[in-house]
Structure 1
């Protein structure tokens, strides 16, 4: 669509996303405003975003939840569409968002279905589809729980609806990219879990890791996707393994000693 949707701001949080940002922002031209909340990119992410007419806001990164909540506050429109740099709003979703907002919705937020891609291939099983997240919401009626370091939760004061069109999530460009991203998530998760008093030992590491693989590969039918399903199930288990090993390390040695040896 070519017309701007009045009262809608797109908000994108970034750091070193030069490889993704053009594709992401090119799909957001229907929004009245595009805001980039950047946490110190050292590549040309910011310059590329400016070329798309985005407003740039610099803000240091503390956690995913805190960054999302800050980003929520800087959008100027009453409705916000939050998008990650490795995500693409499809034309069908752009049209659906426009129709919903023009009709005066009775919901304060909407869940959007995601199609997750690995090296360009849509992952249909192993827990990756259907995958829904609240991404369109009224700024005044919703807020992020900043206490959650990863997989942040949006708290809404009102009913939440569902959209049908998809966001394309190109999060898995390579195994290396997945592992790098998982390590960041694991670090934030373990630090927050340790601060809440959680501990991990042999049984927790083993049971959570094996359980995650079993669920993804067998219960969520990852085995039907052949080698790709095996890889994606294994990577999920590896992320869980990192989380609990990191928590075990913090539990045994303490944050100060762990950080002093890094």
Structure 2
């Protein structure tokens, strides 16, 4: 039973080799290189991967293109900051060859900040602790978004694996803040395109709810300062995304109004 590994990359030369090294147990590796200007494609081909070059503005487009290129009956979906060790590789193979009574498996994730394993508090697009990463082809699809697209699964749930994926979420706190900045920029574009823009008060309410969910319900408080920071970022994500979305809509409205104003001026000058 053929197994495809799917990796989506965007200028990830610094961490791609370590990611692909853990996928050599798969029958094929497919790397979607989205607007890469570094050595991503070269590194991927060095590991025998099939490279799909393209321009994919939406994360959902990248993943869909990758799935379409996979030839295996089963797909293991991996991010460039994640690593599959030997124990997980063995469990993945055993799961798909053991006549699974379903079409997709959840895979646990261990998220590291630097060298510290942070088990609790993740959410709001900052990290996952369990995700459907092993699935039959054509079972999984994504909603059209630039970041953190929603997932739609068809078929039957086959259960969850026990061995976690290891994810180097952030090498340091500066990287966490930079990731939040990039994430809110992309999410703001999604919100503006969908017209899903709330008031500042609404964003603050959502931000508080996310902070409480991360810090209390998901027990981020047990992770000390890092747990508090993750919860704070989850709340700020909602507020910053909303502020940036409203600003973006204003810029778009101003840009659309300029041609009309210029035409009006030309018409007035003609009448004179």
For the aligned pair, the TM-score class normalised by the smaller chain equals 0.7 to 0.9
Render the CA deviation track for 1:15-71: whole Å, top value 9, x for unaligned.
Answer: 111121111011101000011100122222222222211111102121111211111
Pick the aligned partner of 2:149 from 152, 159, 169: 152
Name which of 129, 132, 138 aligns with 1:131: 129
Report the equivalent of 2:15. Answer: 20
Which TM-score applies when normalising by structure 1? Answer: 0.87
Q: Which moved more, 1:179-188 or 1:42-51?
A: 179-188
Q: What's 1:115 paired with?
A: 110
**Residue number among 174, 177, 182 corresponding to 1:176 in the alignment:** 174
1:127 touches 1:220 (CA, 8 Å); kept in 2?
A: yes
Is the Cα–Cα contact under 8 Å of residues 78 and 138 in structure 1 kept in the other structure?
Answer: yes
2:226 alignment counterpart: 228
Out of 120, 135, 140, which is 1:143 matched to?
140
Question: 3-state SS of the aligned residue for 1:20?
Answer: helix
Higher-Rg structure is: 2
Distance 1:239 1:173, change over 3 A: farther
* CA-to-aligned-CA distance 1:84-137 (integer Å, 9 cap, x gap): 100111222111111111122221111111111111211122236971111111
Q: Tell me the residue number matched to 2:184.
A: 186
The answer to whether the 8 A contact 1:16-1:43 is kept is yes
Q: Is the 8 A contact 1:108 1:156 kept in 2?
A: no
**C-alpha distance in 2 between matches for 1:149 and 1:210:** 24
How many angstroms apart in 1 are the aligned matches of 2:237 and 2:156?
33
Residue of structure 1 in register with 2:215 after alignment: 217
Question: In 1, are the aligned partners of 2:111 and 2:168 still within 8 Å (CA)?
Answer: yes
- 8 Å contact kept, 1:249–1:258: no
* Post-superposition offset of 1:153: 3.3
**Larger deviation: 70-79 or 149-158?**
149-158
User: What is the alpha-carbon root mean square deviation over aligned residues?
Assistant: 2.2
State the shift of 1:209 in Å: 2.0
The equivalent of 1:33 in structure 2 is 28
Check if 1:97 corresponds to 2:92.
yes
Where do residues 47-58 of structure 1 align in structure 2 (5 Å cutoff)?
47-58=42-53
Structure 2: gaps of 5 or more residues: 257-272
TM-score of the aligned structures, taking structure 2 as reference length: 0.84
User: In 2, are the aligned partners of 1:69 and 1:146 still within 8 Å (CA)?
Assistant: no
1:81 aligned onto 2:79:
no
Q: What is the aligned residue count? A: 252
SS of equivalent residue, structure 1 residue 250? helix
2:55 alignment partner in structure 1: 60
- Give the 3-state SS of the residue equivalent to 1:19 in structure 2: helix
Matched, 1:199 2:197: yes
**Distance in 1 between the 2:199 and 2:151 partners?**
31
Whole-angstrom CA distance in 2 between matches of 1:202 and 1:146 = 26
The 3 A distance-change label for structure 1 pair 213 and 146 is closer
Q: Could you give the per-residue CA deviations for residues 213-241 of structure 1, whole angstroms, max 9, x where no partner exists?
A: 23222333222222222222222223222
